Amino acid sequence: MKKYLSFFKMRLMAGLQYRTAALAGLSTQFIWGGMEVLIYRVLWNAHPERFPMGIEALSSYIWLQQAFLTLFAMWNWERDIIESVKTGAVAYELTRPADLYGMWMARSMALRLSRWLLRAAPVIVLGCLIPAPYGLRLRVSPAVFALFLLSSALMLTVVCAYSLFVYALTFHLTDPNGVMVLSTAAADLLGGGIVPLPFLPAGLRRIAELSPFGAMQNVPLRIFGGDIAGVEIAEAMGLQVLWSAVLISVGYALMRAGIRRVSLAGG
């Protein structure tokens, strides 16, 4: 276990170096979050009765989404891993007395956490400073907060397991770019990135909620905002566990099959 923790630590240290990137990302997130809140405010003022979520829950959703963006954003790929498979440099990692899946899982999680650590606090503080109902409402019960934390951890697992599934596919494809672009788009639409899932038409919304993408940001953000409760939380978190298990097993199997093929890349 220690070696995977070291991998985690390494990626974390490497990730914490990029101060300028963090600063640039932060300002984008402030502006983006503010813009979204303004747009929804206009819609809300026009037809509050047609909103599927309360404006408070929605504002919290948006600010938390910005604060947690780097944790779940599908586009946060570990480029080095993809490059290493394409060029064959992965051979080095296969000469280590460690499991490749474990090493990559530790790296993926650390990459996301390192980016998140640098950016979360300022967005949360700013979100709280904005007056109700457009700001981030932090008053939640300890039980809800605990569920939020747990489902955030599950979200990270699902997101990383999905990334590893794509990395494992890279062994079998000439270029994984297509899969990556499609995954990013699907995660944005079906995961509640473009609009929160309650805003989708009923049929599509059900598909989204059952898909692996619905087991990502959708769950903790809606738990926190109070948009889902009770049985709905249980169902959503159950799906998170299920998708983690499915994605990890499929990714692991694909990787095992893929390692047998590394042979050709770069003689």
Distance between CA atoms of residues 51 and 210, nearest Å? 22
Q: How far is CA 72 from CA 20, 116, 192, 217, 254, in A?
A: 21, 9, 11, 6, 23
Q: x-or-dash pattern for another protein, window 227-256, by CB under 8 A?
A: ------------------------------
Choose the stretch contacting another protein; rule: CB under 8 A; options: 6-14, 128-136, 163-171, 217-225. 6-14
Phi, psi of 193 (to 5 degrees): -85, -45
Which residue's CB is nearer to another protein, number 62 or number 109?
Answer: 109
Q: Any contact of residue 89 with another protein (CB under 8 A)?
A: yes
| Binding span for another protein by CB under 8 A among 64-72, 91-99, 113-121, 200-208 | 91-99
Using the Cα atoms of residue 23, residue 154, residue 209 and residue 196 in order, give the sign of their dihedral. Answer: negative
88 touching another protein, by CB under 8 A = yes
Kindly state the tokens that stand for 148: 């939020």
Amino acid at position 190, single letter: L
For residue 177, state whether it binds another protein (rule: CB under 8 A).
Answer: no
Whether 152 contacts 215, CB under 8 Å: no
Using the rule CB under 8 A, is 142 a contact of another protein?
A: no
Residues in contact with another protein by CB under 8 A are 2-3, 5-7, 9-10, 13-14, 17, 80, 87-89, 91-92, 94-98, 259-260, 262-264, 267
